Chains A and B, each alone.
Chain A
Amino acid sequence: MFRRILKNMGRLACLFVVGLLTFGYLASGLKDERPPAKVDPKVSIVSASSKSSPAIVSVKLENAEGSQDCVEQLDNAFERRWADDLSDVAPPADWTTVCRRLSLAMAGSGMSLEEIRELELLDTDQRVKSHLEKLLRNPRFHDYWGERFTRVFVGTEDGPFITFRRRRFRHWLSDAFAQNRPYDQLVRNLVTAQGLWTDRPEVNFLTVTVGTNEEGQPDPIRLAGRTARAFLGMRIDCLQCHDDFLGNVSLGPSDNLRGGQQTDFHSLAAFYSTARLNGLQGIRQESHPYEYRFLNDDETSTVEPKVPFAPELMPTEGQPRERLAAWLVHPENKQSARAIVNRVWALMFGRPLTDGVDNIPLDAIVHPALDLLASDFVDHGYDLRRLIRIIVASRPFKLASAADFEVTERHEKQWSVFPLTRLRPEQVAGSVIQSARVKTVDRESSLLIQLMKYGSSNDFVSQYGDSGQDEFIQGNVTITQRLVMLNGELVDGHSGNNTVFNAGAHIMMFAKNDEAAIEAAYLCVLNRYPDDEERSAFATKLGEAKNREAVMTDIYWVLLNSSEMTWNH
């Protein structure tokens, strides 16, 4: 009997230890290899802090030479356009607005109150730059852009079960952004990839297309379309089946452009016919002709690899995919440089410099800013971080979206006001989740918080609707999306009076007065200070309420359901 009691106690003790270890594991966060930015522990996060020593150490910027010149040229180009167009120009935006834009573009969510309080410690003119530098080194940026560029390079589908590993590909891209790998190297890695898709994640660029043609091999046709859109910013997919008869695709020599032809498309596809799946060796380079039966032909033809324009930029020697990669990243291939610059601009602003992010005609008359940025990008080693810094430092990025003159779409087109663009579903989810936490939700958060974020974000996006590959096409808000925000679990759960997890409850516990509580709520949700009218209206409500916690919940709900919350501005 005594032995049985001891045995049972031993079992209970083991169970207790296991439970404790599990709790400890969940409550701990993942440690990032890179040291996080230091936070002054004496500063109270909820209340406004005084300007003591700066919390952020200035960083020596790599590859910064000449960037200020580029910014000045960029600003001059915009200002000339504004002058020519007689366009009124919006005033500069508040630093909180600009920093919110950075967080949304680079991390997929708004700022945390923790981040805002850290920035308040700096001089006003240092805040945007400091926030940018912190984000550039933050895994949230690397992971978020890893996902955004995964969609560009391999689409949104799950892909073939055996030969495609989307997660591995995304992590590979995330690492590339963390290391600031030059963009030209990235393109070469993708186009010339060889090996197993598990071992060499870049191979997934090719293997995502396996199984859609008859042969169980990477599909040159899909790869041609993807290459044109992702790397050249051109849509030539219609040329797969017929010559261009609508005047939509112009190709050929720059001084004598002609209509796009079927042969252009399939000549591009021919570069990929040598990428062959060879059992456990994965993708190998093998001699394999590309054959296609063109419209109105009776027989198939063997198609030689050829680029659709500027053939003089392609090396004459080497394997086909190596030659294609070299052509794509040739310093004089202006189209390629325009394509990536336009995409990065679109990621930062929410809309591209041109009408479509992957639809820049060869003969397009583009804003001079696009070519200025493209030249600088190529001349300075295809450095994506430098490109982002220049864009952020430019005047258009720091303009307000509101002005004292009548703002029209013409002003947005000219970039003389910051454009209103809808947030993507994952940005909405990320912002709602972040707004409910005082501290930044990142890899250092407890695993429990991270798991909750992952789960609730996925459920929300599933119900809200994923925008898929059409990343910058602005659709209207739907009834379903409004219902999800008005009555859904995510908003309800993150605005409620949960004293363990929610910022609203913490604000009520620690804010020194009602006005401070309202200010903290606005900073958490909308990343700005309330104006006097807002502060007064809501502080009065709070002051008169019998159930103050319920009123704070309602205020949170109102702010989360506002247009301001779900739009970039």
Chain B
Amino acid sequence: MNLRNALCSPSAHLSRRNLLTTASGSLFLSPLAKILAAGESTKSGDPSRPLSIILLWLEGGASQFETFDPHPGGKIGGEVRAIATSAGGIEIADTLPQLAEQLHHGSLIRSVTSKEGDHERAVYNIKTGYRPDPTLIHPSIGAIVCHNDDIGSDIPRHVSIMPGNSPARGGYLGAKYDAFKIYDPANPVPDVAKRVDQQRYDERIGDLMNIAEKKFSRRRLINADAQRTLHAATTQRALTMMSSDQLNAFDVMQEFRDVRDGFGDTPFGRGCLAAIRLIEVGVRCVEVTLGGWDSHINNHSLQSAACGSLDPAAASLLRMLAERDLLKTTLVVIGGEFGRTPEFNPAGGRDHWPHGFSMMLAGCGIRKGHVHGATAGDADYDSEKPASGVSDPVTVSDLHATMLKTMGVDFHKQLETPIGRPMFISEGKPIDAVLDHA
């Protein structure tokens, strides 16, 4: 299926983009942007569309000061300035001018706290809502959403784009809920293309099923394939996926050039565009990872560079989801595993800081144009008591309960793990202040 025909025409895109564009650092907001900041969208989402989630993981720890929680001037503010956004009264860093124009779609949470300062453990924490437990692996939020019902696409319903070292996992729900991994969407999807022609491939499959599998199942465990190996059934599902038109959703090169350029000519940009296409065909959860945030040295230049990839991609993602009437049924989450220290180290960097960092939530069930929580400014910052400067702190568990609630998952349900241990899907409480009660 060629998705080009489903798109708005390029000229319509251009004129909207002109209306919404501001010069970087400018306080001017277009009349349309002001209306959007103040009001509610009148469009309603397609009630038959399943709820989906797009997670933009800023892996390495994005600095809250250089993104969603600027404190310009003073010792801790660094080199960024604060700019106005389309969410009236809320300012973010000038490293994200395009995202500033889309902030009216969601809420900022500036007071997320956790107990994990190590990358691997903190990534686990932010993806699952639990701290690492050596006795079991908790499922990621995408796995929970997919486990909750069977609705969705022929292709895997849980996808991870550029997963790095910690792709989303099914955990105790089972490996079938692991995210399907792909890398830069400019490249073909791994392992779905046959390496020989169709006739030869069919002969191979025929020999596999009629000679090898028949022999193996003879005289062995009764119903071995159906009850134990699932080899034939899973092979058939893999073959179905290989021939599914929905695979085209991964191919962002089918989009118009100016659409692709709007997301930025980066793997992350292409990943965000692919996320929308995947949601459209019924994928339930897509995580897209952007690295480069671990600024232990040269904080400003590293954060700015990473923002350079994040800004156009995240802004275009939100804008396109709204334009395609997908935002009401899609939750977008933007953030990393922790923030960065208010103080600079001798190398001009900021180190890990889980005591008050930022996440953005937008779309499905989330209040628009709101900010929750705050972190200490220069005057109130006390390095001896890092948590004391955080108002309305929320935990990572609370964040997960919030996300799950908007996705229609009973977050307080108890599941039984394979070893018989009962486990709540989430131990947190939804953050009521960021939920849309309309």
A interface, CB within 8 angstroms of B:
155, 157-158, 160, 211-212, 222, 225-226, 229, 235, 237-238, 246, 248, 356, 359, 401-404, 406-409, 412, 417, 420, 422, 463, 465, 467-470, 473, 475-484, 486-488, 492, 531, 533-534, 537-538, 550, 554-555, 557-559, 561-564, 566-567, 569
Task: Kindly state whether residue B220 has any CB partner on chain A within 8 Å.
Answer: yes
Q: How far is the CB of B102 from chain A (nearest CB, A)?
A: 33
Instruction: Name the distance in Å between A380's Cβ and chain B's nearest Cβ.
Output: 31
Q: In whole angstroms, how far apart are the Cα atoms of A465 and B207 in the complex?
A: 27
Contacts of A237 in B (CB 8 A): 133-135
Tell me if B221 and A482 are in contact (CB < 8 A): no
Cβ contact within 8 Å between B195 and A492: yes
Please, which residues of chain A bring their CB within 8 A of the CB of B174?
475-476
Chain B residues closer than 8 Å to A554, beta-carbon distance: 200, 203-204, 207
A-B contact pairs, 15 of them (CB 8 A): A225-B134, A359-B419, A407-B219, A407-B222, A422-B229, A470-B136, A477-B234, A479-B176, A481-B175, A482-B235, A537-B211, A557-B204, A562-B212, A563-B216, A563-B231
Instruction: Check B191 against A479 for contact (C-beta < 8 Å).
Output: no
What are the residues of chain A within 8 A of B176 when measuring CB–CB? Answer: 475-476, 478-479
On whether the beta carbons of B134 and A476 are closer than 8 Å, the reply is: no
Residues of A within 8 A of B220 (CB): 401-402, 407, 420, 569
- In the assembled complex, which residues on chain B have CB atoms less than 8 Å from the CB atom of A157? 120-121, 132
Alpha-carbon distance A468/B178, docked complex (angstroms)? 13
**Given A157-B121, A477-B234, A483-B192: 4 more A-B contacts, CB < 8 Å:** A403-B219, A558-B207, A563-B224, A569-B220
| Chain B residues near A492 (CB-CB < 8 A) | 195
C-alpha gap A420/B213 in the complex (Å):
14
Distance between B15 CB and nearest chain A CB, rounded to angstroms: 42
B208 within 8 Å of A (CB atoms) = yes
Is B29 interfacial (CB-CB < 8 Å)?
Answer: no
B175 touches A476 (CB 8 A): yes
B356 within 8 A of A: no
- B218 close to chain A: CB less than 8 A: yes
Q: Mark B54-88, 1 if CB is under 8 A from A, else 0.
A: 00000000000000000000000000000000000
Which residues of B does A touch, CB under 8 Å? 117-118, 120-121, 132-137, 156, 174-176, 178, 180-181, 190-195, 200, 203-204, 207-208, 211-213, 215-222, 224-225, 228-231, 234-235, 237-239, 241-242, 418-422
Q: Which of A408, A487, A537, A557 contacts B222 (CB 8 A)?
A: A408
Does B213 contact A562, Cβ atoms closer than 8 Å?
yes
* Chain A, Cβ-Cβ closest to B219: A402
With beta carbons under 8 angstroms apart, the residue of A235, A359, A479, A555 that contacts B241 is A479
A245 to chain B, nearest CB (A): 11
Residue of B nearest to A356 (CB): B419
A483 touches B121 (CB 8 A): no
- B419 CB contact (under 8 Å) in A235, A478, A480, A538: A235
Knowing A478-B176, A479-B237 are in contact, say whether A420-B192 is a contact too (CB < 8 A): no
CB-CB under 8 A from B421, the residues of chain A are 238, 248
Please state if B221 and A408 are interface contacts (CB–CB under 8 Å): yes
In contact, B230 and A531 (Cβ under 8 angstroms): no
